[in-house]
Structure 1
Amino acid sequence: MIQRDVPTDGLTQRVLEAGPDDGPLVLLIHGFPELGVSWRAQVAALAQAGFRAVAPDMRGYGGTGGPEETEAHTILHLVDDMVDLVRALGRETCVVVGHDWGAPVAWHCALIRPDMFTAVAGLSVPFQPRRPKGPPTPAMAAISKRAGLGDLYISRFQAPDAHAAFDVDPATALRKMFHAYDGATPDARQSTGFLAPGVDLLRSIADDAALPPWLSPEHFQEYVDAFTKTGFKGPVDWYRCLDRNWELTAWLQDRRITVPSLFIVGERDPVRHYAGAQEAGLPDWLTDLRGRHVLSGAGHWLQQERADEVNALLLGFLSEIGAAD
């Protein structure tokens, strides 16, 4: 397993990779606040099974970095990066897997370029079709207000300085995030994603938040070092582009994902508080859905919390669709 830099169109992408050069390509896309190394267990398992597994640090993250402009982090930029990476790796097709924010990127890869991304798996975040009635952030705010839940953290992330609280102390910010969304964390200490007036996301999480059982100090330090160097602006810019994404994707309205697909979510994933409603409608939008799996007791960080189960499901999916042929 190696890390290296891969020059692509306008961006040099840091990737973690393993497996035979001629093995079928599987691309693994991380979310917030993670890195390509979040997929280390999957890269190893896929490589052992004969696949070429590649997990990039995404635009705005880690060894890849990227532009400073907020508007350079739209869903189209992120899909473009993955298209460019596949081409730079000398391939024409691959299977794409995404977790958290990486799941919407993976879903859109399959939605926009099914000729290249011939199968897709999403972890934690279901496919969410473009809403026809207007951009998402005003709708989020209206729903939260009607329900009396407070602000969804995604609404707070729209502020130009929303990343500043994370940049003050990256180690504390990361420790709190990993703790509050983990399956081993008791219900009362998990984040619901909704915030009371005057309380930001990090202050809503207990100061004595501990690292999850799966996260060793050495692995945690990889995240701390990366985010201390690059900061959180680029990752939070992904959220700030949500309404811009809606503006840019009218041409995708009502389009369905037709390639073979798979969805995996943790039973206790806090993201289900605000994205879980989309799970029931997946068969309407994924026309070749091969499986929906809810991992009992698991939280948000699925591929690390439950590496063996996720590996087995991914390898089973790849076998079922004949990806190794």
Structure 2
Amino acid sequence: MVAHRMIDVNGIRLHIAEEGEGPLVVLLHGFPESWHSWHRQFGPLVAAGFRVVAPDQRGYGSSDHPEDVDAYSILHLVGDVVGLIGALGEEKAYVVGHDWGAPVAWHTALFRPDLVLGVAGLSVPPPFRGSRPPLAAMEERFGGRFYWNHFAEPGVADAEFGRDPRTALRKFFYAASGDAPGAGSGRQPLVEPGRGWLDAMRDPEVLPSWFTEDDLDALTESFSGGFTGALNWYRNLDRNWELTAPWHGAVVSRPALYVYGDRDIVPAFPGTPELIARLPELMPELRRPPLKLAGCGHWTQQERPDEVNAALVDFLKELARGV
């Protein structure tokens, strides 16, 4: 049975869901999600002998939502994971992340390899710091229309998502899924001038089978406090680039797994297909070639829970055996 509690971490309070006994596995969600994104992973991971903990990350759900935009840098986010591992009474953990949770997982392994037994990322590949700040680079490349730049505008996407959170989340989850028409086309997520991010998204009459009305209820409830905290993560993209200068050219050295969908929009971002193709040579501890899931969109562990669970259990049990 999944239990819930609040825990003091890194100067804030985080809500966590937890179950099981054994080596610790920390599951980190992305945008716009919550701990609930992982509810189909708890049972298989617990049955495989692991202690599973999924927090609402800062700015999300029942966890604290600091007001200061600067409180959402990658150093704060990794600090939360480091603090969580210690607060749970553990010395080391396996760290798994999806979407924004993946960069947090990858950077935890990069910054604190002494704490990370293994790291897995879903959708977003390992970080290789570019030569320019990402918001500035996308501003120049797409004339400010890339969705990162839209999300970075103070108050704009906050109001757009906040007007009708349930409809916004329903449209967004469907549009980024493998079920949406045109998914996997490689089309970049651009926001046209004078239109909102959600305007061009179809509102499905029927939800995909993997995303139930109960899932949507739980997700909508988690954003009852608004979207600003979650969007502040995007407002730190250029600051994160500055803060990670000491790790320029560094490589994640811990055992790693990367899984993505062939209809996911993120692996089609500029330069990302080329990066994924080179991961086996760039990542010395990538334990198997990147796993590409056919027909899967962005919501990897929700759209393809069986395949993701099997890959995670195999990866984690292999590491636990010391292979």
TM-superposition CA deviations, 1:167-223 (whole Å, max 9, x none): 111011100111001112221799741222222211120244643221111121011
TM-score (norm 2): 0.93
| Aligned mates of 2:309, 2:184 — CA distance in 1 | 28
C-alpha displacement of 1:295: 0.3
DSSP-derived class of the 1:310 partner: helix
Alpha carbons of structure 1 residues 219 and 19: separation in structure 2 relative to 1, 3 Å: same
Whether 1:221 aligns to 2:217 is yes
SS for the counterpart of 1:157 is helix
CA RMSD of aligned residues (A): 1.9
Q: Is the 8 A contact 2:23 2:93 kept in 1?
A: yes
Query: Are 1:200 and 2:196 counterparts?
Result: yes
Give the TM-score, by structure 1 length: 0.93
Structure 1 counterpart of 2:93: 94
Shift in Å at residue 283 of structure 1?
Answer: 2.9
Closer/same/farther in 2, CA of residues 189 and 247 from structure 1, 3 Å limit: closer
Q: In structure 1, how many angstroms separate the alpha carbons of the residues matched to 2:81 and 2:205?
A: 34
The whole-number CA distance in structure 1 between the counterparts of 2:176 and 2:322 is 34
Contact 1:29–1:55 at 8 Å: present in 2 too? yes
Q: State the one-letter code of the partner of 2:7.
A: V
Aligned AA for 2:176? Y
Q: Say if 2:309 is the partner of 1:308.
A: no
* Contact residue 72 and residue 236 of structure 2 kept, 8 A: yes
2 CA distance for matches of 1:321 and 1:144?
42
Answer whether contact 1:180 1:189 (CA < 8 A) is retained: no
CA-to-aligned-CA distance 1:240-262 (integer Å, 9 cap, x gap): 00001011111111111111000
Match of 1:318 among 312, 316, 319: 316
Q: Is the 8 A contact 1:30 1:100 kept in 2?
A: yes
Q: Does the 8 A contact of 2:170 with 2:203 survive in 1?
A: no
What is aligned with 2:261? 266
Q: Gapped runs of 5+ residues in structure 1? A: none
Q: Quick check: 2:107–2:127 contact (8 Å CA) kept in 1?
A: no
Question: 1:196/1:255 Cα in 2 relative to 1: closer, same or farther (>3 Å)?
Answer: same
In the alignment, structure 2 segments of 5+ residues that lack a partner are none
d(CA) in 2 for partners of 1:201, 1:39: 26
Superposition pairs of residues 47-126 of structure 1, within 5 angstroms? 47-126=46-125
Correspondence for 2:20: 19
Using the TM superposition, name which of 287-296 and 180-189 deviates more. 180-189
SS in structure 2 opposite 1:185?
coil
Letter in 2 for 1:115: D
Residue 160 (str. 1) matches residue 154 (str. 2): yes
- Give, in whole Å, the separation in 2 of the partners of 1:202 and 1:323: 46
Provide the residue aligned with 2:181 in structure 1. 186
